[in-house]
Amino acid sequence: MISSDSEDELYTERTALMSANASTAPSYQDRDGAPSPTNVQANRRRSAARRPANPVEGRVGAEGGPASRDGGGEGEEEEEEELILKYGAKHVIMLFVPVTLCMAVVVVTIKSVSFYTEKDGQLIYTPFTEDTDSVGRRLLNSILNTLIMISVIVVMTIILVLLYKYRCYKFIHGWLILSSLLLLFLFTYIYLGEVFKTYNVAMDYPTLILIIWNFGAVGMVCIHWKGPLQLQQAYLIMISALMALVFIKYLPEWSAWVILGAISVYDLIAVLCPKGPLRMLVETAQERNEPIFPALIYSSTMVWLVSMAKRDVDTEEHLSKTCNADNYPEVEVEANNHAVQGLDDVSDMPQTQIQGVHHSAAGGEELEEEKGVKLGLGDFIFYSVLVGKAAAGASGDWNTTLACFIAILIGLCLTLLLLAVFKKALPALPISITFGLVFYFSTDNLVRPFMDTLASHQFYI
Amino acid sequence: MKVLSAAVLKPAFFWLLSLLLSSLVWFIAVKASNEKDAELQKSLIIFGVMFSVLLQEVFRFAYYKLLRKANEGLAALSEDGKSPLSVQQMAYVAGLGFGIMSGAFSVVNILAGSVGPGTVGIFRDSQYYFLTSAFMTMAIILLHTFWSVLFFDGFENKRWVAVVAVIATHLLVSGLTFLNPVYEGSLIPAFVIMVLMAAWAYFTAGGSLQNLQHFFMCKENK
C-alpha cells in the first residue's frame, strides 16, 4: 500500500516537517493579532502626536484618516472603529490575492495533470486503507487515520515549541532549511516531470537540472535570507501549492475530509486555549521580541512600502520621535527573512525602516498599513487542499469548486474582521474550513443535481 | 476601488446561499415524489426555478438591508455624516456580484465540457447550445446588475414600481427560458428586456441623454 520505502521515508520526513510547520503556521495569524495591540496604541499615540502638527488631513478614499477626528473620548473610540474598518478592508484584499493564486494553481494542476488524482498508495500517517467493503468500516478507518495524523501534528508542534522555548534555534533553522530544500528541489522535480508528461514535452536532463537548480537556489535564498518581497511571496505560494498537491494525492477521500475538520478544531484549541502550544509559541516570541520563523509565514507588509513615494517631512519628524520608544516585534517590514534575530538587531532596525515606511503624504493611514497582515503557510495549504479535493472529487464539478472557493474567501474575510475587532491571535482555519466543508457537501449533493437538470433543459434562474 | 473589487465577493456569497436553499427545497420535493413520472419532474423543476428566482430576490433584499446597516455605520464614523460609498455604487457592486456568480454557475460546466471531444446536438438537441448558452449567460449577468441598481433605488426612494418591475421581469426572463430550444422565444425577449432595464437603470442612476451625447461626442461635461 505504500509505493516505495525510500520515497516514503522522504515523504515521511517531509510531511513531518511540514505538518509541524503546518500546525504552527495557523498560529502565525497572531503575528498580526498579538503585536497589534502594541501597534495600534503606538499608532494612536503617533497620530495624537501628529495632530497638533497637521491639523486636518485630507481623506483618502473610503478609508478615512483617523487624524481628521478631533479629540475627546468619543474621538478615540471612533478612531478605533475606523482603524478596524480600514484594517479589515485592506487586509482582506492583501490576503485575497495570494490565497486565490495558490488555490488557482492547485485547481489548474489537479484538473490537467492526472498524476495528482491517481491513487498511488498512502502516506505512513494514514495507514488504514479506505478500500473496505462496508461504509461503517470505511468511516472507522478514516477516523483512525485522522487520529494518527492529528497526534503526529500535535507531537510535532509540541516538539517545535519546546525547541523554541529552550532556544535551540540552530536545530529549528536546520530543520526548516531541510524542509524547504526538499520542497523546492524534490517536489518541484516531480511536479515538473508530471507536467511534462501530461503535455508530452520532451526534456533533457541537463536543461532540467539547470532549471531546477536555479529555481531551488533562488527559492532558498529568497525564503531564508533576503530577496524582493514579491519573489518571496511567489515562492511561498508555490511551496504551499506543492505541499497541498502532495496532501491531495496521498490522503484518501474520507480521511481528507475528516482531517480537515479535525485540524480546524485543533487549530481553534491550540491558538485560543491558554495552554495551547501555538499560543505559548506566540507568547514566547513576543516576550523575546523576535519574529517567528519567517520561512513559514506569508507576509504582505512590504506592499505598502513599495507603493509609497512621497515624503512628508513633518510626519517623519514626529514619527521618528515617537517611534524610537516603540519596540516593534514585527519589524519584518523589510525583508522578512531575518530568521532569528537577537534583540539588538531589532532595536537597531525600527529607526531606519519605519522612516522608510512612512514616506507618504497622508500620514496617519500608512502608519497602520506598515503592519500589513500575515497568514501562516499551513492555512494556505489546507485551504488549497479543500479546494483541490473539491476539484478532484468524483464528480469533478466546477460549481462545487467555485462554491468552496467563495466559501473559503468569505471565511477569511470574517476571520480578518474578527481579528480587527479582537486584536489578538486568531486561528485562520476554523471559519473558512467550516464554510468550505458545508458548501462542499451541500453543493455536491444538492446544488449539482439541480444545476445539471437546469442545464440539460437550458433553463436559467 | 480595491475595496469595491473585493466587495464583489459578499453578494456572490449571498446568491450562493439563495441557490443552496432553493436546491434544498427542490431536492426534498424530488425525493418525496415519484422519480419515474417525467411530467411531475418537469413541473417540479419549473417550480424549483420559480422558487429560486423569488429566493434570489429575497436575498437581494437581505443584502440591501445589510449594506444599509454597514453604510450607516460608515456614515456615522465619517466627518461629514456622509458615507464614502453611495447607494448606487453599492447597488452596482451587489448586482455585479450576483450576476457574476449566477453567470459562473450557469456556464462554467458547459465551458469545461466544450473543451473536450464531442459533437454538439448529436442527440437531436440544438446545434447552437453553446452559442445560446453564452448569450443567455451574458444577458443574465448584465440583467442582474441593472436589476440591483433599480431594486436598491426602489427601496431607497420608496419607488415600489421599480421593485415590482424587477421581480416581475426576473420571473419573466426565467420563465421564457422554459421555451428553449425555441431560442427566438427566450433569447430575443431577454435581450429586449435587458436593453430596457439598462436604460431604466441608467436614468435611475442619474444619467441623462445629455450625458450620453457628451460621452459619444467626447465633449467635456460642464
β-strand A374-376 against A297-299: which pairing, if any?
Answer: antiparallel
Residue A323 pLDDT exceeds 80? no
Which of A81, A93, A443 is opposite residue B77, by nearest beta carbon?
A81
Q: Is residue B106 part of a domain?
A: yes
Q: Is residue B29 part of a domain?
A: yes
Q: Is A81 on the interface with B (CB under 8 A)?
A: yes
- pLDDT in the model for residue B205: 82
A398 to chain B: which residues are within 8 Å by CB?
A: 108-109, 112
Do residues A37 and A424 make contact, with C-beta atoms less than 8 angstroms apart? yes
Q: Is residue B95 part of a domain?
A: yes
Q: Is residue B210 part of a domain?
A: yes
B119-162 pLDDT, tens digit each = 887 887 788 888 889 999 999 999 999 999 999 999 988 889 99
Rounded Cα gap, residues B132 and A249, in angstroms:
38
A449 to chain B: which residues are within 8 Å by CB?
A: 23, 27, 30
Mean pLDDT, rounded, for B197-202: 91
Report how many domains make up chain B: 1
For A60, residues 6+ apart whose C-beta sits below 8 A from its C-beta are A362, A365
Whether A447 and B23 lie within 8 Å, measured CB to CB: yes
Q: Which amino acid is at A289?
A: N
Domain range for residue B87?
Answer: 1-217
Do residues B84 and A61 make contact, with C-beta atoms less than 8 angstroms apart? yes
Whether A461 and B102 lie within 8 Å, measured CB to CB: yes
A177-216 pLDDT, tens digit each = 998 899 899 999 999 999 999 999 999 999 999 999 999 9
Residue A163 pLDDT exceeds 60? yes
Q: Is residue B7 part of a domain?
A: yes
B39-93 pLDDT, tens digit each = 888 899 999 999 999 999 999 999 999 988 888 887 777 776 666 777 888 899 9
Q: Is A76 on the interface with B (CB under 8 A)?
A: no
Q: Is residue B37 part of a domain?
A: yes
Residue A8 pLDDT exceeds 60? no
Assembly ipTM:
0.90
Picking from A223, A224, A216, A222, the residue whose alpha carbon sits closest to that of residue A188 is A216
Mean pLDDT, rounded, for A306-318: 39
A406-422 pLDDT, tens digit each = 999 999 999 988 888 88
Sign of CA dihedral A406, A408, A413, A417: positive
Select which of A30, A32, A267, A444 is catalytic.
A267
Q: Is residue B188 part of a domain?
A: yes
The share of chain B scoring above pLDDT 70, in percent, equals 93
Q: Is residue B222 part of a domain?
A: no
Residue A43 pLDDT exceeds 70? no
A231-260 pLDDT, tens digit each = 999 999 999 999 999 999 999 888 999 999
B87-119 pLDDT, tens digit each = 888 899 999 999 999 999 998 988 888 887 888
